[in-house]
A and B are shown apart, each in its own frame.
Chain A
Amino acid sequence: DAGITQSPRHKVTETGTPVTLRCHQTENHRYMYWYRQDPGHGLRLIHYSYGVKDTDKGEVSDGYSVSRSKTEDFLLTLESATSSQTSVYFCAISSEGHSTDTQYFGPGTRLTVL
Chain B
Amino acid sequence: GENVEQHPSTLSVQEGDSAVIKCTYSDSASNYFPWYKQELGKRPQLIIDIRSNVGEKKDQRIAVTLNKTAKHFSLHITETQPEDSAVYFCAASWTGGYNKLIFGAGTRLAVHP
Contact = CB atoms under 8 A, between A and B. Distances in A.
B100 interface: yes
Nearest to B43: A105
B102 A45 contact: yes
Contact of B99 (A40, A59, A101): A101
Contacts of A43: 44, 89, 91, 103
Given A43-B44, A43-B89, A103 B106 contact: no
5 contacts: A31-B98, A43-B91, A45-B102, A90-B44, A103-B34
Interface of B: 6, 9, 32, 34, 36, 42-46, 49, 89, 91, 93-94, 98-106
Interface residues of A, number: 25
Interface of A: 1, 31, 33, 40-45, 48, 50, 56, 58-59, 90, 94, 96, 101-108
A108 B43 contact: yes
B89 A42 contact: yes
A94 B104 contact: no
Contacts of A105: 36, 43-45
A44 B43 contact: no
B34 A102 contact: yes
